[in-house]
């Protein structure tokens, strides 16, 4: 896939799936705006990716509308337009409903769903002008329920249906798709989930066994799928929720 000359904003690209996705686009010739909540996070990511004219920093918190608008507008200014918006910023709290509270609900919905919605809204004029497209990062948890992830499931289910609704509303000018990964080998899964359990090794085995293919996906695999949906090869694809879950939702 060739993205030479294309201008890409990847929110939440200071780590995990977002950073791997930024690398895929850079390797394909794109110019990429890197987003994290802090300048330190974006600068550290850029050092990892390799600083240069192909990478710009657009730090900011996309859990608030003002933050979404600031990040998107700064990316458009620095890149001179926008061809692809990837909404990858996300959080997960591995808590039951009894152990959750309003703060957990708000942080999850605001980052995962509200941030996706308002980043797209802010990017729309540039995307329409450049016949661009959007790829959202949802989850297999947006297609099925999972114990201990109720707020996350609600947020990602919202992202899936938001993708479908906007694909209809914005066609034919702007394509909108999403990917639905299962468990991916990222610091969020390990640090915020596995490592907090009493037996991390047993928890890792349990999560791996949820999918018929019995493996975690690697972040780069999700990045490649995102790049496909953003590319000209997917010119007739919109409203799709692409499952990259090792078969975890195959029986649904």
Query: Catalytic pick from 117, 152, 183, 228?
Result: 152
Nearest CA among 92, 118, 116 for reference residue 188: 92
Is 228 in the active site?
no
Cα–Cα distance measured from residue 195 to residue 248, given in angstroms and rounded to the nearest whole number: 22
Please tell me the number of Cα atoms within 13 Å of 163 on its side-chain side: 31
Packing angle, helices 39-49 and 16-27, rounded to 10 = 40
Phi-psi region of 135 (alpha: psi -120 to 50; beta: other; left: phi over 0): beta
Residues 6+ apart with CB under 8 A from 117: 162
**Residue 14, helix vs strand vs coil:** coil
Beta carbons within 8 Å of 11's beta carbon, 6+ residues apart: 18, 35, 62, 71, 85, 86, 87, 88, 89, 115, 119
Catalytic positions, written as ranges: 152
């Amino acid at each position: 896939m060739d993205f030479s000359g294309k201008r890409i904003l990847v929110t939440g690209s200071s780590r995990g799936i977002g950073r791997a996705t930024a690398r895929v686009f850079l390797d394909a010739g794109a110019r990429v705006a890197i987003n994290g909540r802090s300048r330190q996070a974006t600068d550290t990511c850029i050092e990892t990716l390799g600083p240069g004219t192909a990478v710009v920093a657009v730090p900011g918190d996309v859990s608030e509308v003002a933050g979404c608008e600031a990040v998107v507008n700064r990316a458009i200014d620095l890149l001179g337009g926008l061809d692809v918006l990837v909404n990858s910023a996300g959080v997960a709290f591995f808590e039951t409903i009894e152990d959750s509270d309003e703060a957990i609900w708000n942080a999850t919905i605001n980052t995962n769903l509200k941030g996706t919605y308002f980043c797209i809204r802010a990017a729309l004029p540039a995307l329409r002008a450049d016949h661009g497209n959007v790829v959202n990062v949802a989850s297999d948890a947006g297609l099925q329920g999972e114990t201990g992830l109720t707020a996350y499931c609600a947020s990602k289910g919202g992202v899936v249906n938001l993708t479908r609704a906007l694909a209809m509303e914005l066609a034919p000018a702007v394509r909108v798709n999403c990917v639905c990964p299962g468990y991916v080998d990222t610091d969020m899964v390990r640090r915020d989930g596995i490592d907090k359990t009493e037996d991390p090794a047993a928890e890792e085995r349990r999560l791996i066994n949820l999918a018929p293919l019995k493996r975690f996906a690697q972040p780069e695999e999700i990045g490649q799928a995102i790049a496909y949906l953003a590319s000209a090869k997917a010119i007739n694809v919109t409203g799709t929720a692409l499952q990259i879950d090792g078969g975890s939702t195959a029986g649904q």
